[in-house]
Amino acid sequence: MSAHPAASAPETAAKPQHDPAAKPAVRRQIVCFTFYRVMPEWRRLPADVKAEHKRAFVAVIDKWKKPGEFISITYSVVGVRGDVDMCLWSICYSVDEINQMRAELLATPLGGYLTVPNNYLSMTKRSQYQIDHESAPEDDARGAIRPGGQKYNFVYPFVKTRPWYLLPLTERKRMMDEHIRVGLKYPRVKLNTTYSFGIDDQDFVVAFESNYPEDFVDLVQELRETEASMYTQRDTPMFCCVRMQPAETLNLLG
């Protein structure tokens, strides 16, 4: 009687080889601009009550300060626009954290007197149109947003027309090269571009930080004259935000 053939060794799935030259995956940041408006009823409250409301609101902002992981910057928009009073710009790595932090702010006594006329959610992503990746700013190369210390922040949602996305990439890049060259003429304006595809109503959210509003006015006027501007569907509302510490921002509410 012949012996049974020896069982063949089971096949082992090939393990992926580690490439020491491979770059680590870039952590994509979550970016949120929340614009609040305070109800008139709050301004009529006694001063000591409003002071306590402000302290509780600032305490939540301070609680969520996590250097390198969760950043929040406050801006006053009082007198600059008629529909909002302040802006909170947060940068982190989780939608859940934005959700929780904003919920805690609304749960404060002041939160009961706030409305949110505008809120923009986006993510970081490295631009495919950078003229020279080798000379790109470090933040752009990492796909990260690192706010500067500029006094003003000019923020707005941005939507391209659908025909723009049907153009060949080479044609889009040709027009964006002109767009980028115009921007480079204004080094005192720092551009932060983030992407909202699928997570909010706009395509992008752009935030221009600068100490010089006149530079931003001239930059936008010149960008209107570029070929790429023909493919802009919407770039409003526009917000001119004045950077302040949280307590100072709240004091201007009333």
What secondary structure does DSSP assign to 143-186, as a single string? T-------SEEEEEEEEE-HHHHHS-HHHHHHHHHHHHHHHHT-
Between 13 and 220, the more confident residue is 220
With beta carbons less than 8 A apart as the criterion, state whether 249 and 153 touch.
Answer: no
Rounded CA-CA distance 239/81 in Å is 7
Q: What is the mean pLDDT of residues 62-70?
A: 95
Share of the chain above pLDDT 70, in %: 85
Banded model confidence at residue 2, pLDDT cuts 50, 70, 90: very low
pLDDT at 198 over 70: yes
Tokens 């949120």 correspond to 32
Q: What is the pLDDT of residue 127?
A: 81
CATH node for 30-251: 3.30.70.1030
In sequence order, what are the beta bridge partners of 204? Answer: 158, 195
Confidence of residue 254 (pLDDT cuts 50, 70, 90): confident
Q: pLDDT per residue over 170-185, tens digit each?
A: 999 999 999 999 999 9
pLDDT digits (tens, 9 = 90+) for 27-56: 899 999 999 999 999 999 999 999 999 999
User: For 68-93, what is the mean pLDDT?
Assistant: 97
pLDDT tens digits, residue range 90-138?
999 999 999 999 999 999 999 999 999 999 999 999 887 765 544 444 4
Domain boundaries, the chain: 30-251
pLDDT in the model for residue 7? 42
pTM of the predicted model, to two decimals?
0.86
**DSSP collapsed to 3 states, 3-70:** CCCCCCCCCCCCCCCCCCCCCCCCCCCEEEEEEEEECHHHHCCCHHHHHHHHHHHHHHHHHCCECCCE
Quick one: pLDDT at residue 36?
98
Please report the pLDDT score of residue 23 as a whole number: 59
